[in-house]
Every structure is written in C-alpha cells, then in structure tokens.
Amino acid sequence: MRIYTHEDCLEHLVPEHHPERPARLAFLIEHLERTGFTKDYPLQVAPQIGKVLMGHAHDATLIHQLTERVPEAGLTPIDPDTWISPKSLIAARYAAGAVWQGVQDVMTGEATRVFCAVRPPGHHAESGSPMGFCLLNSIAIAAINALALPGVQRVAVLDFDVHHGNGTVEMCRKHPEILVCSSFQHPFYPGRYHDVVQSNIVNTPLDAGIAGDTFRRAIEASWWSAIESHQPDLILVSAGFDGHREDPVGNWNLEDDDYGWVTAEIVALAGQYSSGRVVSVLEGGYDLNALARSALVHLETLASA
C-alpha cells in the first residue's frame, strides 16, 4: 500500500468559501497522521505528469488554454465553479502524476494498492474542457495511458462520487478496453454524458435522499456483472466522499461504513481479476470531518482487505 501526495496540491487556490478548498487535503493528511496511519504507510511524493501523457488523453487545445489562463497573481475564473491560480496547473499535474505513478507501481509489483491524496479533483474535466472544480482528468489520463503498458489489456474505472464522472465517460467511451462505472445523484450537476448507452459505460443514476442500503443494492445490480464480464487487468477508483450524509454539497445519506463496504467489494473483485491491483484517487468530499473519516475507512480497507 502506498499513498502519494504533493505539497503543491495545496497551492491550487480558490475564492473564499469555495467548497473545493486547500483545507480539504490539509485536514485529510493531518487526520491520517494523527491516527497513525502514515506510520505504517508513509506519504510518498508524487511526480508531475508529462505533457506527452497528458496529450494522449486531453486535446492540445485544453492544455494550451489552461497554460494561457494561469495568472501571475490572484485568481482567474474558467467558469463559475472552476478557478485557476498561479500554481493550479502545477497542482493538477502533480495530481495526475500521482495516479500515473500509482499505475506504474502496481503494474511493476512495487505495490498492490495505491491511494492518491491530491487535489484539484479530475473526473469532471473532459477532453477539451475543464469544469466542475477540475482542470485535468487524472484518472482518465491514467486509464488511457495504462493501455500501452505490458500486462494491461483492459481497465475498469469505478466512480462512486455523488456527481457523475462526465469527463471520464466522455474521454474513455471511445476506448472499449476501458469500462467506466459511475454512480451519481440524478438530476444533479453536471448533467452531461449521464445518458450514454454503450457496453463499456455503466451509468447508475440515483435519487437525492438515498441511504446506504439503496446505494449498495444499485452498485450490486449494475456494476459487479459488468466488471465480471470485462475482467479488468487494472482497477482505478474515483473516490468521492460527497455522498456522505454530513456533506454540504451532495444530497445522499451515506455513512462511513458504506465507503468501507464499496471498497471491500472492489478489493474482492480486484483479487479475482486484476491480481489485487487497485489505484484510487480522491475526488469530492467537502465536509472536512466526514471526508477524513470516510477516506480513512477507504484506506484501511484498501490496506487490509
């Protein structure tokens, strides 16, 4: 088990009262240290993702747009939700680099499970458009580039954030070797690509107000058979914790142990199909305490299951 992060991920700045704030990651890291988790699993420094690897997944126009929009000081809006500051693109490249390093680690046997404690999140960013707090789609970059690695013929991306992983669906749908499963509150942001019907895309819309039992039944009914049919060599996880009942953004009522349950199920499937290999990356989760507790349950399950 390895945990990747980078201090520059705290340097992606946003306006005051923005939910996707640096304190999310700082509080999570402090919680992992306070509980002693990092004594057994010390934090590793993430590398930056290279431009060539970014270009295999994102349009050149997006990379150029982000580069040109980086301000010398202050904040620049990309859209009402998404902002860029002087070190935002650097932070996003470390976030994507963490996931890619995790993929390399599990495929070379350096580790079996990896968690990437990074920000900004990525799963809303589309091939040509940053959006929804996201600049680069870290998990889609990793999934697409992983197909070129020895031993990787099929990849599964599993996204349990309360928001739909529109960017991951948009970027991966043209790759039949990549299965994308996304559960999400519906109707809700972003309202894009949630109705895609393809054999490698499993969209699982769920009403506002659901609790863990409904979430678990939906995942069991829609995801597991698809994963069994796909038989991935590598499982990647978009780990969003904003479906928690304490979260101020989502409207689900999940508990800490629901995240432990879905993680244990994913690890069990990884044991069957991907030699245990799982790489997970932080996406949403905006109540600091709920995020820290849920992520710790996720990590403990990844490490012990």
pLDDT tens-digit series, residues 192-247: 999 999 999 999 999 999 999 999 999 999 999 999 999 999 999 999 999 999 99
User: From CA 86, how far away is CA 99, in angstroms rounded?
Assistant: 22
In the chain, the amino acid numbered 113 is R
Which alpha helices (H) appear in 79-193, and where do they start and end?
Answer: 88-108, 138-146, 166-172
pLDDT tens for residues 133-186? 999 999 999 999 999 999 999 999 999 999 999 999 999 999 999 999 999 999
Q: What is the mean pLDDT of the chain?
A: 98
In DSSP terms, 140 is beta-bridged to: none
What confidence score (pLDDT) does residue 209 get? 99
- The dihedral built from the CA positions of residue 138, 100, 120 and 216, taken in this order, carries a sign that is positive
pTM value is: 0.98
Average of pLDDT values for 107-127?
A: 99
Q: What is the largest CA-CA distance in the chain?
A: 50
What confidence score (pLDDT) does residue 194 get? 97
What confidence score (pLDDT) does residue 4 get? 99
Backbone phi, psi, residue 174, to 5°: -85, 5
Catalytic residue among 6, 58, 123, 124: 124
- For 52, 103, 178, 234, the CA distances from 150, given in Å and listed in that order, are 19, 12, 16, 12
What confidence score (pLDDT) does residue 121 get? 99
What confidence score (pLDDT) does residue 305 get? 64
H or E segment to which residue 280 belongs: strand 278-282
Q: Is the pLDDT of residue 55 over 70?
A: yes
How many structural domains compose the chain? 1
What confidence score (pLDDT) does residue 262 get? 99
Q: CATH number of the domain that 200 lies in? A: 3.40.800.20
User: From CA 43, how far away is CA 286, in angstroms rounded?
Assistant: 22
- Asked about 64 being catalytic, the answer comes back as no
Q: Provide the residue range defining the domain that includes 36.
A: 2-304
Query: Which residues are within 8 A (CB) of 212 and not within 5 positions of it... i.e. 6 or more apart?
Result: 253, 254, 255, 257, 258, 261
Q: Is the distance from CB of 58 to CB of 144 less than 8 angstroms?
A: no
User: Can you read off the two tokens belonging to residue 291?
Assistant: 């995020």
Ramachandran region, residue 161 (left: φ > 0; alpha: ψ -120 to 50; beta: rest): beta
Of the pLDDT bands very low, low, confident and very high (cuts 50, 70, 90), residue 275 is: very high
Query: Which residues are within 8 A (CB) of 213 and not within 5 positions of it... i.e. 6 or more apart?
Result: none
H or E segment to which residue 194 belongs: none
Q: Is the pLDDT of residue 107 over 80?
A: yes
Q: Is the pLDDT of residue 111 over 90?
A: yes
Q: Is the pLDDT of residue 71 over 80?
A: yes
What confidence score (pLDDT) does residue 127 get? 98
In the chain, the amino acid numbered 71 is P
Which alpha helices (H) appear in the chain, and where do they start and end?
Answer: 22-34, 37-40, 51-55, 60-69, 88-108, 138-146, 166-172, 212-222, 224-230, 256-273, 288-304
